[in-house]
């Protein structure tokens, strides 16, 4: 079937296409001419003309505007005297290499005397920063839009309000939208209209931000004559109410931050005390050299990292995965040697054991000073442990602390599995509950003692790996944690791992909750007094071991 073509329709379409093609260049030329005039005004005009040119250039949305304004703010925008060319200057061996802002093409290399720098004072740089923030509010990348909204919030530029409202109307990302609403409210807070200021206060009351608290607090401040910064009573009352709500939320966030720090401290105490809980519970040995096992683990980490730096620098991020088993083996071997060489001759004599291990701790400290020197040693953090999570309330959660908490829980779970699922764990529990009966059943208690001491010391060595990421690696490292470790073990229940876990986190959280009110030293004293009073009521701690030998 033949297809009929409407010639009139085809001719009309062709005519429209030709007119559109002819009209497009004229519009483009007109826009380019207008853009060039604005660039010229930016270079040669006075402060008012430059400010107007920045606003007009920003409104065009042209991609050439952003690098031009950035260059102007960085003192890299120049005017060539011979032809009035506005260009971005880049350092070159022979002078300045010019990049035409209109075409983006290289415009030659000139000397510093051939061009004039287009200057911008501090106030104009603030306007430029605000303009750059406004330009990126409609960027397709939500991260860029979020940064732009933060920039507008900090500058509180009224000229960005219109662009901000347009971007807010089209915004779909919740986080970006919330930041834009915060920025809009911050701008409206400086409005002359009391209704708009009230709207801004109500909008800002929903945020928990120290900067917003400062902005609202400025409204209710009185001067020497008793006059308020905010003249409208309704707005002032709303600001006071909003401040109270923000303070309550900030107090909750601060408490949450203290609890997080307490959990972090508790994880460190658990790592340091868990090995002590094993040796103290199984053998009843007061090992004052336990802190030096932690120190040996930290120095093992230093040695491993030095080897990685010297021979495998590209694999430095994996150094901790080698340091952890290495520290376990080094500290564990040292523990077995201590038990076989000293401890086994002093069983049943706790005072002599305490004195012997205390003297041994001094020997180990001096040995490390002789080998590594008395100064602190640098232990680096791998890239995946660097950085932090920052909340809007100003709470910072560092990655290294988060990884230490996770590592602590993994070590604890692994130790529980060893005690419950392995023959060594079964023999250790038997010796803990009744040493004489275990020996009568054929268990080699001497071998169990050596392996138990080695296991506890090895875990202390792994604690040294973790502590090397948050504390100075020095010969005195272990001394900072030995007393707290004994407190954790006694408070939780001698030889009970779950009690050690509960005791470590309880003491850590209690310390951090008391520090803001009582100070670090007085807080520790209060915790110590509380533990003494608790032990008077429960001498065996939170979770007492059960068994005939224990009960006897």
Q: What are the CA-CA distances from residue 481 to residues 271, 290, 294 (Å)?
A: 10, 9, 9
Per-residue pLDDT tens over the stretch 94-124: 888 888 888 888 888 888 788 888 888 888 8
Which residues are within 8 A (CB) of 40 and not within 5 positions of it... i.e. 6 or more apart? 84, 86
Q: Name the nearest CA neighbour of 267 among 543, 511, 472, 451.
A: 511
User: What secondary structure does DSSP assign to 36-63, as a single string?
Assistant: HHHHHHHHHS-HHHHHHHHHHHHHHT-T
Strand spans (E) along 180-249 = none
Q: Which two tokens stand for residue 120?
A: 């911008």
For position 258, what pLDDT does the model report? 85
Which residues, given as ranges, of the chain have pLDDT below 50? 1-5, 8-27, 547-552
Per-residue pLDDT tens over the stretch 238-249: 888 888 888 888
For position 298, what pLDDT does the model report? 92
Give the span between the Cα atoms of 109 and 496, in whole angstroms: 77
For position 545, what pLDDT does the model report? 58
pTM over 0.85: no
For position 300, what pLDDT does the model report? 94
For position 134, what pLDDT does the model report? 66
For position 392, what pLDDT does the model report? 62
| H or E, element range at 88 | strand 86-92
For position 17, what pLDDT does the model report? 39
Q: Which two tokens stand for residue 150?
A: 């933060």
Burial class of residue 95 (count of CB atoms within 10 Å of its CB; 0-12, 13-18, 19+): middle
């Amino acid at each position: 079937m033949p297809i009929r073509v409407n010639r009139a329709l085809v001719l009309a379409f062709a005519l429209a296409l030709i007119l559109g093609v002819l009209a497009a260049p004229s519009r483009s030329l007109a826009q380019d001419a207008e853009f060039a005039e604005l660039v010229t005004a930016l270079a040669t005009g006075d402060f008012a003309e430059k400010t107007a040119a920045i606003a007009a250039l920003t409104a065009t949305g042209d991609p050439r505007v952003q690098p031009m304004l950035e260059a102007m703010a960085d003192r890299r925008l120049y005017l060539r005297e011979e032809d009035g060319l506005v260009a971005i200057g880049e350092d070159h061996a022979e002078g300045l290499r010019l990049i035409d802002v209109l075409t983006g093409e290289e415009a030659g290399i000139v000397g510093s005397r051939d061009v004039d720098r287009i200057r911008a004072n501090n106030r104009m740089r603030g306007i430029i920063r605000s303009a750059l923030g406004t330009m990126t509010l409609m960027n397709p990348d939500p991260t860029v839009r979020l940064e732009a909204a933060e920039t507008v919030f900090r500058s509180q530029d009224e000229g960005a309000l219109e662009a901000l409202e347009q971007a807010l109307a089209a915004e779909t990302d919740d986080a970006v939208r919330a930041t834009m609403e915060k920025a809009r409210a911050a701008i409206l807070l400086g409005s002359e209209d009391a209704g708009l200021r009230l709207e801004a206060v109500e909008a800002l009351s929903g945020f928990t931000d120290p900067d917003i608290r400062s902005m609202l607090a400025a409204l209710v401040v009185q001067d020497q004559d008793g006059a308020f910064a905010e003249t409208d009573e309704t707005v002032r009352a709303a600001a006071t109410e909003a401040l109270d709500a923000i303070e309550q939320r900030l107090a909750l966030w601060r408490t949450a931050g203290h609890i997080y720090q307490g959990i972090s401290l508790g994880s460190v105490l658990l790592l340091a005390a868990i090995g002590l809980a094993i040796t103290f519970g199984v053998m009843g040995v007061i090992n004052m050299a336990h802190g030096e096992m932690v120190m040996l683990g930290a120095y093992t980490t230093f040695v491993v990292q030095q080897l990685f730096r010297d021979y495998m620098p590209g694999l430095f991020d994996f150094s901790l995965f080698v340091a952890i088993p290495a520290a376990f083996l080094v500290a564990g071997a040292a523990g077995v040697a201590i038990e076989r060489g000293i401890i086994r001759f002093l069983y049943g004599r706790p005072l002599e054991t305490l004195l012997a291990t205390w003297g041994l701790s001094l020997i180990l400290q001096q040995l490390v000073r002789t080998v590594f020197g008395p100064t602190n040693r640098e232990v680096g953090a791998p890239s995946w442990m660097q950085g932090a999570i920052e909340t809007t309330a100003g709470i910072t959660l560092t990655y290294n602390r988060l990884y230490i908490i996770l590592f602590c829980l993994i070590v604890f779970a692994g130790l529980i599995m060893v005690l419950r699922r392995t023959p060594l764990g079964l023999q250790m529990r038997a010796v803990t509950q009744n040493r004489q009966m275990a020996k009568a059943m054929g268990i080699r208690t001497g071998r169990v003692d050596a392996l138990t001491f080695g296991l506890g010391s090895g875990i202390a060595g792994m604690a040294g790996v973790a502590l090397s990421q948050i504390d100075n690696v020095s010969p005195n490292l272990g001394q900072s944690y030995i007393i707290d470790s004994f407190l954790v073990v006694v408070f939780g229940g001698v030889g009970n791992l779950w009690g050690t876990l509960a005791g470590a986190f309880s003491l850590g959280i209690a310390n951090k909750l008391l520090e803001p009110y009582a100070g670090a030293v007085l807080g520790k004293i209060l915790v110590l007094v509380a533990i003494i009073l608790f032990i008077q009521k429960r001498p065996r701690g939170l979770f007492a071991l059960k068994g005939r030998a224990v009960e006897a």
